[in-house]
Structure 1
Amino acid sequence: MIKNNFSFVCGVLLGLAGWLATSARAETPTLYATMIANSHLQCMASKVMGRVYGNLGMRMEVLPMPAKRALAYSSSGQADAELLRLEGFSKQYPDLLPVPEPYLGFSGVAFSGPVVGTISGWKDLRAYRVGVVRGVRYSNEGTEGMERILANDLPQLFDLLEKGRVSVVVTSRVSGSVEVARRGLTPSIVVNGQPLYERPLYHYVHRDHAALIPLLDAEIRRMKASGELQAITDQALDELLLNAQTGGLSECTQ
């Protein structure tokens, strides 16, 4: 057992040394990760994973792209990693390997004004006219058969809510909070109740850099235990909300 553990550690260190050698021209080893463009949650993820890599003595640069193109780019090895995805992408993209520990989560929640009762589950939405974005699977399925209006995008969804055409909208907690801040609707429009839908989110690396996985996994776990991960996540969200309120840039930077 000791011999096997020693061999495993040596393998990880040798693999990492080989990867670091490819970045020898830079003062700090740099890894390039694709991300979905124009996504508030992905912007937060770039801050969080930037800190994770930084704690390991590396730098992460993000490459914003449309969702499908980002996967094609990272899975082919043209990028070193995929910033943030749901569990199970390795089934369709076997060259993308997940870091086992999730570092962010997706929450689908209800936003409403004060006249709406507490929403504790999908069934509570049946009492109201609901707005959801067309084509978003979890919210479209969760409100199937209810009185609802389908919006084409997030701004149109909150137009419906602000104009009173719907009483409740269901969308991502992060994106919805940013839209509320952008419109100056706080505190008249708030998150109502507990999440209706939750999923953990993971970082993926190309199999060429598989030696990084145990290091990233251990660092994410350490940061969770120390509270550092939650602190950088909260800071990233605060920056998004402030930018939305002031009309500042929302560009994802490390």
Structure 2
Amino acid sequence: MNKVHKINTIYCWLFTLLLLSSKLFGAPQTLRFFTSFDTPDIKLAQAILEEAFKQNHYHTIFILEAYRRSISRANSEGDGEVLRVANLKQIDPEITGNLVPIPEPILEVPVFIVNHNPISNFTHYNDLKPYRNGVLKGIRVLEKNVPNIHTISTYPSLFKLLNKKRIDNLITSDYFIEEITYNPDFQTEFYIHTLLKIDVFTYLNMKHVKLVAPIAATLKTMKKDGTYKRVESIIRSQYYSIQ
């Protein structure tokens, strides 16, 4: 027993020394961010966040979860949520009480309209009221704002409905327009119009509220000094053959 006790004591001391040495040498803290998407848009946001937090001496890891579980874990045990709309706390108040947005947008995401019409006079969601509008299920900001909506589970199904003119407009929100044009179901006779643009934000858990201002400042600097565009170019080249 004495020998076992000595070994355990040695392990405890070694672990303590490791912790002390990491603090002594300033090892960066690792922050866990949650998201419910696995798209090029999200990969771009993650790459930007990784760089911004790296410049502030933090490591980041990203964990994929279902929509509400992602937000709930960011709100409770995690350190943040990668990308959500500005009014997230109004949409899901019961699971966002501990989340605070970084005020500098992580992305400005266009809302695209895909249809058969070469001319578009749409400037607001209300302009879509007379039409049958298809939206991919799960894009909450579109589900909430697009009138006369038909929510469909997959993009191929949406494109087929549009091709058969069973819907008038396909409404989607993607940072990269290539997400539409590279889709195998996209037809050359379709036209793409920009309805509006949405600022989306990273949310931090309140335990990191002191990081809100410095990370916001870093994001602003990255947009000015070309870092943001460089990261965007890298992500685009990873997913699309044409830059």
**TM-score, reference length from structure 2:** 0.71
Residue 12 of structure 2 corresponds to which residue in structure 1?
Answer: none
Tell me the number of residue pairs that the alignment of Structure 1 and Structure 2 aligns.
218
Contiguous gaps of at least 5 residues in structure 1: 1-20, 246-254
Classify 1:59/1:218 alpha carbon distance in 2 versus 1 (closer, same or farther; 3 Å): same
2:221 corresponds to: 222
Q: CA deviation at 1:95?
A: 1.7
- Displaced runs of 4+ in structure 1, greater than 6 A? none
Whole-angstrom CA distance in 2 between matches of 1:85 and 1:124? 24
Counterpart AA for 1:151 = I
Q: How far apart, CA to CA, are the structure 1 residues paired with 2:59 and 2:69?
A: 23
Shift of 1:56: 2.5
After the TM superposition, which residues 1-254 of structure 1 pair with which residues of structure 2 at under 5 Å, given as runs? 24=23, 27-76=27-76, 78-89=77-88, 92=93, 93-113=96-116, 115-121=117-123, 122=125, 130-133=133-136, 136=139, 139=142, 144-145=147-148, 150-174=151-175, 177-183=178-184, 185=186, 188-192=189-193, 194-196=194-196, 198-242=197-241
Shift of residue 181 of structure 1? 0.6
CA distance in 2, matches of 1:86, 1:69: 17
* Alpha-carbon distance change, 134 to 55 in structure 1, aligned in 2, over 3 angstroms: closer
Q: Could you tell me which amino acid in structure 2 is paired with residue 203 of structure 1?
A: T
SS at match of 1:101: coil
Q: Larger Cα Rg: Structure 1 or Structure 2?
A: 2
CA RMSD in angstroms comes to: 3.5
**Can you give the 5+ residue segments of structure 2 that lack an aligned partner in the other structure?**
1-19
- Alpha-carbon distance change, 116 to 150 in structure 1, aligned in 2, over 3 angstroms: farther
Tell me if structure 2 keeps the 8 A contact 1:110–1:119: no
Q: Deviations over 1:178-231 (max 9, x none)?
A: 143131747654522x324x3211112222222222221110111122232233
- Secondary structure at the aligned position of 1:34 is classed as strand
Give the C-alpha shift of residue 63 in structure 1. Answer: 0.7
Identity rate, percent: 19
Mean CA deviation greater in 96-105 or 23-32: 23-32
Alignment partners' CA distance in 2, 1:22 and 1:155: 54
